[in-house]
Amino acid sequence: MSTGRVACVIGLGVAAMLVLHTGDPLASVGTGSPVWGDAGPLARAALCVIAGGSLLAAGWLHRLLFSPLEVLRGPDDVGYIAEDGRSRAQAANEVRRRRKTGELPPVYPNGWYRVTDSHRLQTGQVQSVSMLGEQVAVFRGQDGKAYVVDAYCPHLGANLAVGGQVVGNCIECPFHGWQFRGNDGKCVRIPYAEKVPEFAKVRSWPSCEVNGQILVWFHCDGGDPQWAVPEQQEITKGQWVYRGRTEHFINAHIQEIPENAADIAHIAHLHTAGITSGVDLRYTNSKTRECLRHNWKVQWEPEPEPNEHCSQMLVKHALTVFGRHWPLVDVDVVARQVGPGVVFLLVDHSFLGRGVILQCVTPVEPLLQCVSHTIFYQSNIPPLVPKFILRAECIQFERDVMIWNNKKYVSKPLLVKEDSAIQKHRRWFSQFYSDNSPRLKHRRDTLDF
């Protein structure tokens, strides 16, 4: 139960007890004058309301100052304009139905993808996750390791993640009790059978657990991992601690999201308006909100061998308030992308401290991406600082979401000389596709997954 709910329950309980109590439990304090006994029912109720409100305020303040920031958006929550009495869900469905998709690249690039966060998967726990057009079961064995296997039992198709139990380092099917080993998917026990067939198994996904996250490797041809996800030593050693995460679902092709790093021109146009201008692009550039402005200098480059699967975006940020530059909040950020699905946004500031935002893009379906931003920050910096950074990043990101959710992918864009980095990024990103990479099939202007 959350701190706020606990405070509310305590406040209501105390109020009921004191208002209904016939005696004078607080008639005096020590040998002083009466405190409670002379008060009437209305005064007692008012005091209880004040006490309950104080508890709620204390809970809210505690969450603000110390609890991690959690912002979890649904697929219809951001990026759509609900007009003419329609709900956001109705507006989103209409956009998805009518939008042209364009000539798309393959929908699932080869690479590492986040499945879940380490702290959300305890020993013996199972989670059901949708990713890459598949259902998988993620569980932590008694050895403390995380395993990822296909969710559907090959026996009669039960979902291992829905009611399945962890037995040792295996997951047990809730339907008939078949047990599958986490490291290779092999069935090791059928409770009513004399012998387990050699071919009885589920697919076990190559996985790793690093930087407080569990990731899986995907390759369309079943190939082994071609690179490792870098370990952020400050997270491993506990010098940088978890301060929150945001999660969004984007209705777009996965390539659209990392391509923003090379689209330098959009940053000045879309992200100059201050965070106080909000995320609705109809109003972000309003003249009444020009007091706060962000200024950006951005450069994107791919890395040379042996890290050709990586690229870097160098960002210099400055803030002006009523036209006056505030150098105290100038921030340099290095955004290092590793493969198609993982980005390290490293923040280094002499006053605000150091930390990293891990941006992970995981395809759920061909045109639905789950994007998470998880922040780890210096443990000796007040939590309010990284929470503010993450909230500011969330506002800027949701402006991009409004573009992505409504745009068409253009395979042959009309570019000018200053857009050269976009084409460079597309050539770099193409390395994550293979001849057999799955593509989206079209049928009468509808999507056939």
Q: Which helix (H) or strand (E) holds 56?
A: helix 41-65
Does the domain made of 111-210 have the CATH classification 1.10.287.1080?
no
In angstroms, the first-to-last Cα distance of the chain is 40
SS3 74: coil
Q: Are 399 and 281 in contact (CB under 8 A)?
A: yes
pLDDT at 255: 97
Per-residue pLDDT tens digits for 220-257: 999 999 999 999 999 999 999 999 999 999 999 999 99
Q: Is the pTM of this model over 0.75?
A: yes
- Supply the DSSP symbol for 277: G
Q: Are 208 and 228 in contact (CB under 8 A)?
A: yes
SS3 192: coil
Which strands sit side by side in the sheet containing 126-131, from one edge to the other? 126-131, 134-140, 146-150
Nearest residue to 388 via CA among 347, 422, 427: 347
Weakly modelled stretches of the chain, pLDDT under 50: 1, 19-20, 22-23, 25-29, 32-33, 444-449
Could you tell me where the DSSP H helices lie in 318-405? 384-404
pLDDT at 164: 97
SS3 366: coil
Write b or e for each residue in 234-244: b if 16 or more Cβ atoms lie within 10 A of its Cβ, otherwise e: bbeeebbbbbb
CATH topology of domain 70-99+233-431: Naphthalene 1,2-dioxygenase Alpha Subunit; Chain A, domain 1 (3.90.380)
Please give the Cα distance from 180 to 182 (Å, whole number).
6
pLDDT at 448: 46
Per-residue pLDDT tens digits for 333-360: 999 999 999 999 999 988 889 999 999 9
Q: Are 134 and 145 in contact (CB under 8 A)?
A: no
Please give the Cα distance from 159 to 216 (Å, whole number).
19
Sign of CA dihedral 54, 60, 65, 68: positive
Q: Are 318 and 305 in contact (CB under 8 A)?
A: no
Sign of CA dihedral 260, 265, 266, 270: positive
Please give the Cα distance from 244 to 384 (Å, whole number).
11
Domain coordinates in residue numbering, the chain: 70-99+233-431, 111-210
Chain centroid to CA 43: how far?
47
pLDDT at 101: 86
Nearest residue to 135 via CA among 117, 122, 153: 153
